[in-house]
């Protein structure tokens, strides 16, 4: 038996005290801390927050040998229980690690629970101790059936143990049923006028629609209960998916309020996040890359398929807001147009394929810098556009079908298990009733433009471009404030600012004889195609750059609108795609 006792009383020191008891240890027992958390593809070195590791058998203290950055070995005498004790510093307020403070606690097992090598498939017990007065516990981790008091959990194996984050504190709590399955919603640190009733009703619509999507009208989802753990903060956004729960972080102002009747853009973003993480319960937690099966906790787990597992999930997250009627068609098109605009404004789309972007997530997507836009493409946004392309290709094909059919076929054929790219190509081919392998190869393994404009026209959606912003015309990303001035944070490949010799970090000060206060001031001062003198500051030196601004720009924002009078065929296709 493997048991973790986690003492959460040291809130002021932000420290979790863990006692790990291993019944019948190996003669040379090895334990290790994961270096990453599944769902977030970056080596995070969770062992850096572990200290004071000690080992005992009865009263006997044993030597602990460190084998590498995250692995330890203890030589045991006989088979009596090995007890390891250690501290975890917990002050990471994200959804990916562990946090303990005076107002709340939260942790994932990957940050707290040493993996006992050779024993991963046994029952794992977790017991919380020292809970501050008035705190409650929320998690999808199953209660230990042999212990009735709260805070005692038992899981089938290590994988399950670390796939149920735990929230502790005083939080808002609501619940609903979706297709007969209990769902709980925890919100920590919401404003008093937060409208919990509305959040529950809207989340319920999304959950029921997704259960129906995967299993039809009368079936149950592959979990007995589901828990949303939402931490509201001043500014933040993110989520991490798990088999029966999700940990979310959102800006407090994006929560619905009792005074609000319209859906704010912030709330639509939050509903999209809820939809995204819930969809992952199927797409990545069960239907998952073969390369990530089983998870290897000690190293990077590479896959070329994040365009499918993250990108397709990103396509469906907002589509479910439309299908449930939470947003209307024009608002949905705005969300797609935003994604298209983002991709078109990224020079890296001509450098990296979406399959390469997936494989390199560990060193590129999760480690952004000033060159990211030039060298990489997001497998989220480009993957979502690949999904849109395929969905429209299927819908407008000779034998009309949908991407929904492909997702469900993959689910059935894999029985909700691991898949490879060949399975996706095969399912597409079967649904489209024509070979799709070459088409998929082109979308995934080349940087060719997606034929979206033509496909959208076939479903009665008109594509137009709006005038580019000054940053887009210059080919930069910039931050502006009265304190720091206009600072260039990224120089885009092939743009006017690069041609003028500008660098990341430059501060724009003036143009010709004029002082610049805002980037948009340039639009009043510049004549396209005429050279001007741009004064910048770089490392305390004033430098003049000759700037020629092109009249057009690559990254003009895209606008999508329903055509006022589409053909009957386009109208029918649009109806099937966009209407409830």
Positions that interact with Zn ion (CB under 5 A): 310
Smallest distance, Zn ion to C-beta of residue 471, A: 28
Closest residue to Zn ion using C-beta atoms: 310
Residue among 163 and 310 whose Cβ is closer to Zn ion: 310
- Residue 38 Cβ vs Zn ion, minimum distance, rounded to whole Å: 12
Q: Annotate 319-354 with DSSP letters as a single string.
A: HHHHHTTSS-HHHHHHHHHHHHHHHHT-GGGGT--H
Q: Which is nearer to Zn ion, 254 or 310 (CB)?
A: 310
Run of H or E including 9: strand 2-10
Q: Is the peptide bond before 294 cis (omega within 30 degrees of 0)?
A: yes
Which CB, 33 or 384, lies closer to Zn ion? 384
Task: For residue 41, give the nearest of 481, 373, 477, 359 by alpha carbon.
Answer: 359
Alpha carbons within 13 angstroms on the beta-carbon side of residue 578 total 23
Point out which residues pair with 99 in neighbouring strands: 91, 106
Least distance CB 313 / Zn ion (angstroms): 5
The distance of closest approach from Cβ of residue 280 to Zn ion in the complex, given in angstroms and rounded to an integer, is: 6
Query: Given the complex with Zn ion, which of 378 and 490 has the nearer CB atom?
Result: 378
Strands (E) across 59-179 are located at 60-62, 64-68, 71-75, 82-89, 98-100, 104-107, 115-116, 124-129, 136-138, 152-155, 166-169, 172-178
Between 385 and 500, CB nearer to Zn ion: 385
- Of 213 and 497, the one with the shorter C-beta distance to Zn ion is 213
Q: Tell me the closest approach of the beta carbon of residue 284 to Zn ion, in angstroms.
A: 7
Question: Please, which residue, 124 or 164, has the CB nearer to Zn ion?
Answer: 164
Angle between helices 437-445 and 381-395 (to 10 degrees): 160
Q: Tell me the pairing of strands 531-538 and 507-511.
A: antiparallel
For residue 249, the minimal CB distance to Zn ion (Å) is 13
- The nearest distance, CB 321 to Zn ion, in angstroms, is 16
Hey, which bits of 11-148 come out as E strands? 15-22, 28-32, 50-57, 60-62, 64-68, 71-75, 82-89, 98-100, 104-107, 115-116, 124-129, 136-138
Nearer to Zn ion, 202 or 310 (CB): 310
Chain centroid to Cα 114, Å, comes to: 25
CB of 276 to Zn ion, least distance (A): 5
């Amino acid at each position: 038996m493997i048991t973790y006792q986690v003492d959460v009383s040291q809130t002021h020191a932000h420290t979790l005290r863990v006692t790990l008891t291993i019944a019948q240890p190996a003669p040379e027992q090895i334990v290790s801390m994961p270096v990453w958390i599944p769902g977030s593809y970056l080596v995070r070195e969770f062992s850096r927050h572990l200290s004071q590791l000690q080992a005992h058998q009865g009263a006997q203290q044993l030597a602990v040998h460190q084998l590498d950055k995250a692995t330890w070995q203890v030589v045991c005498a006989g088979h009596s229980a090995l007890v390891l004790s250690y501290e975890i510093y917990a002050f990471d307020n994200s959804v990916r690690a562990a946090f303990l403070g005076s107002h709340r606690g939260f942790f994932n097992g990957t940050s707290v629970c040493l993996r006992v090598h050779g024993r991963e498939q046994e029952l794992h017990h977790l017991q919380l101790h020292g809970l501050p007065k008035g705190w409650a516990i929320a998690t999808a981790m199953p209660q230990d059936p042999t212990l009735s008091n709260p805070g005692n959990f038992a899981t089938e194996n290590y994988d399950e143990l670390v796939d149920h984050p735990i929230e502790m504190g005083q939080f808002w709590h609501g619940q609903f049923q979706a297709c007969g399955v209990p769902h709980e919603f925890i919100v920590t640190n919401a404003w008093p006028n937060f409208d919990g009733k509305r959040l529950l009703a809207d989340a319920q619509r999304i959950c029921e629609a997704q259960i129906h999507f995967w299993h039809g009208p009368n079936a149950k989802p592959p979990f007995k209960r589901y828990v949303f753990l939402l931490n509201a903060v001043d500014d933040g956004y993110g989520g991490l998916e798990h088999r029966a729960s999700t940990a979310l972080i959102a800006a407090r102002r994006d929560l619905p309020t009792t005074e609000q009747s319209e859906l704010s853009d912030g709330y639509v973003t939050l509903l999209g996040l809820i939809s995204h993480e819930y969809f992952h319960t199927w797409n990545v937690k069960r239907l998952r890359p073969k390369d990530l099966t089983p998870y290897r906790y000690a190293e990077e787990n590479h896959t070329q398929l994040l365009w499918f597992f993250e990108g397709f999930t990103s396509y469906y997250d907002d589509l479910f807001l439309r299908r449930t009627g939470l947003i209307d068609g024009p608002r949905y098109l705005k969300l797609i147009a935003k994604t298209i605009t983002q991709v078109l404004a990224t020079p890296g789309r001509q450098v990296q394929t979406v399959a390469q972007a997936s494989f390199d997530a560990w060193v590129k997507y999760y480690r952004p810098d000033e060159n990211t836009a030039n060298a990489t493409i997001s497998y989220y946004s480009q993957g979502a556009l690949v999904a849109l392309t395929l969905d429209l290709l299927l819908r407008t094909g000779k034998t009309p079908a949908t991407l929904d059919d492909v997702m469900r076929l993959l689910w059935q054929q894999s029985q909700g298990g691991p898949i490879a790219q060949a399975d996706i190509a095969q399912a597409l081919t079967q649904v489209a009733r024509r070979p799709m392998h070459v088409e998929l190869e082109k979308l995934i393994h080349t940087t060719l433009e997606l034929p979206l404009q033509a496909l959208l026209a076939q479903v009665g959606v008109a594509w137009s471009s709006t005038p580019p912003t000054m940053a887009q015309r210059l080919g930069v990303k910039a931050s502006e404030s009265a304190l720091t001035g206009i600072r260039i944070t990224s120089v885009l490949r092939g743009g006017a600012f690069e041609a003028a010799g500008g660098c990341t970090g430059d501060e724009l000060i003036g143009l010709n004889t004029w002082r610049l206060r805002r980037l948009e001031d340039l639009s009043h001062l510049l004549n396209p195609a005429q050279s001007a003198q741009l004064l910048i500051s770089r490392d305390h030196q004033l430098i003049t750059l000759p700037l020629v601004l092109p009249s057009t720009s690559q990254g003009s924002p895209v606008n999508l609108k329903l055509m006022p009078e589409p053909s009957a065929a386009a109208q029918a296709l649009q109806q099937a795609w966009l209407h409830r």
